[in-house]
């Protein structure tokens, strides 16, 4: 995709995606510093929110944290289920771009009734109900999104949590200019028309990969952008029963395939089911591969934006109005004061 052609430029979704590289370059890791000492007062960090405000930002943070020396538990769950948890010993970080998400506000109100003091918020708007209830709030710099599908805000949320955990560890967050440049390269990369045709004609689009928020977020974006049914198949879940109901008219996109089990995916899914597999990876795989630049510490951001590029190209090929789904709303479940 690009902003030179009207077929892309006319969509707010594309324009907002293309702002992402600049947001990355200008991101200041110091914005999370004021939360560090507060979080250290508790025994864990609980990240919550709904939809895109949780899937990539929180899960990517947990994945990154788990690859390093343990400092404190970092976990996530949706707000409604979290009402059943004992969060007394956790710093709670709630994310809602609108600051008006019902599930988020409801959980925060419950925690406040229990006299919980460590409730922090991440929003893209000032003076919201969430900011009113939270102990402290960081407002993103990315600005308002006009498209229903959240994009640039998701990346900035991810960067904020990334910086927060690095600041907790005393680590520097470097290389953001290079990441911004690589992100722009990924977003504007041309994708083989044959690959887009395969995806365009699929009845269902599966996303497979690590539970680091990338494939799960792209499964959601598939619904919002291409209006196709999708599912996230964590890890090697695709080899453990779902192949019984898969069909040759379906497609699986494997994000950063493991260096093991590619042969099994080929045997069980491609040869036995007839499903098409496409990979997103920084190296060649057994499957048709959309190659992205190498970026060891930030690879998930590039994987996510590569997925955006695929979905936009598919949506444009299908003639879809990318900005206006018929049922999905910008604020999925909006809080209404009693």
- One DSSP character per residue, 226-252 reads H--EEEEEETTGGGTTGGGT--TT-EE
Into how many domains does the chain fold? 2
Residue 262 belongs to domain with CATH number = 3.40.50.10490
The answer to the question of residue 337 being in a domain is: no
The mean pLDDT of the chain is 96
The residue out of 159, 176, 193 marking a domain boundary is: 176
For residue 3, pLDDT beyond 90: yes
Question: Which alpha helices (DSSP H) does 170-242 contain, by range?
Answer: 176-188, 193-200, 214-226
Residue 233, in any domain of the structure? yes
Residues 133, 139, 145: CA angle, nearest 5 degrees: 110
Of the residues 150, 176, 202, which one is the last residue of a structural domain? 176
* 145 plus 183 within the same structural domain: no
SS3 259: coil
Contact 213, 300 (CB under 8 A): yes
Query: Can you tell me the distance from the alpha carbon of 195 to that of 199, in angstroms, rounded to the nearest whole number?
Result: 6
- Residue 257 gets the label, from left (phi > 0), alpha (psi -120 to 50) or beta, of beta
C-alpha Rg value of the chain to the nearest Å: 20
Q: Are 105 and 129 spatial neighbours (Cβ–Cβ below 8 Å)? A: yes
17 and 146: one domain? Answer: yes
Coil vs helix vs strand at 100: coil
pLDDT digits (tens, 9 = 90+) for 69-115: 999 999 999 999 999 999 999 999 999 999 999 999 999 999 999 99
* pLDDT interval class at 338 (50, 70, 90): low
Rounded Cα–Cα distance for residues 334 and 126 (Å): 16
Residues 250 and 275 sit within 8 Å (Cβ to Cβ): yes
Contacts of 262 (CB under 8 A, 6+ apart): 285, 286, 287
278 lies in which domain range? Answer: 178-317
Residue 296: φ, ψ to 5°? -55, -50
Please give the DSSP secondary-structure letter assigned to residue 108. H
The secondary structure of residue 48, as a DSSP letter, is E
Query: Which of these three, 146, 176, 206, is where a domain ends?
Result: 176
**83 and 184 in one domain?**
no
Specify if 324 maps to a domain: no
Question: pLDDT tens across 260-271, in order?
Answer: 999 999 999 999
| pTM, full prediction | 0.96
Q: Is residue 166 part of a domain?
A: yes
For residues 207 and 222, give the distance between their C-alpha atoms in angstroms, rounded to a whole number: 9
Mark whether 137 and 242 lie in a shared domain.
no
Q: Where does the pLDDT of residue 312 fall: very low under 50, low under 70, confident under 90, or very high at 90 and above?
A: very high
* pLDDT tens profile 49-70: 999 999 999 999 999 999 999 9
Whether 180 shows a pLDDT value over 80: the answer reads yes
3-class state of residue 47 by DSSP? strand
Please report whether residue 148 resides in a domain: yes
């Amino acid at each position: 995709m690009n902003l030179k052609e009207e077929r892309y430029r006319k969509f707010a979704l594309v324009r907002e995606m293309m702002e992402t590289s600049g947001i990355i370059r200008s991101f200041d890791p110091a914005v999370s510093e004021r939360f560090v000492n507060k979080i250290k007062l508790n025994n864990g960090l609980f990240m919550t929110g709904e939809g895109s405000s949780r899937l990539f930002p929180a899960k990517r943070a947990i994945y990154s944290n788990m690859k390093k020396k343990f400092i404190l538990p970092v976990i996530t769950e949706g707000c409604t289920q979290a009402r059943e948890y004992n969060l007394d010993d956790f710093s709670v970080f709630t994310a809602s771009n609108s600051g008006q998400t019902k599930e988020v506000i409801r959980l925060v109100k419950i925690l406040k009734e229990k006299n919980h003091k460590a409730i922090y918020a991440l929003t893209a708007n000032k003076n919201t109900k969430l900011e009113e209830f939270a102990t402290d709030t960081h407002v993103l710099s990315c600005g308002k999104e006009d498209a229903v599908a959240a994009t640039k805000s998701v990346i900035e949320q991810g960067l904020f949590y990334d910086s927060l955990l690095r600041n907790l560890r005393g680590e520097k967050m470097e290389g953001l200019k290079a990441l911004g440049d690589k992100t722009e390269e990924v977003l504007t990369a041309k994708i083989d028309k044959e690959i887009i045709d395969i995806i365009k004609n699929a009845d269902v689009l599966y996303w497979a990969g690590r539970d680091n928020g990338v494939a799960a977020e792209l499964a959601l974006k598939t619904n919002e952008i291409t209006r196709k049914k999708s599912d996230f198949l964590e890890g090697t879940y695709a080899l453990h029963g779902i192949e019984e109901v898969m069909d040759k008219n379906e497609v699986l996109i494997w994000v950063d395939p493991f260096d093991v089990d590619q042969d099994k995916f080929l045997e069980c899914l491609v040869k036995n089911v007839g499903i098409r597999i496409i990979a997103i990876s920084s190296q060649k795989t057994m499957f048709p591969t959309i190659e992205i630049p190498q970026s060891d510490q930030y690879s998930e951001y590039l994987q996510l934006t590569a997925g955006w590029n695929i979905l936009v190209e598919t949506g444009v090929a299908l003639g879809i109005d990318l900005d206006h789904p018929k049922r999905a709303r910008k604020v999925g479940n909006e809080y209404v004061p009693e």
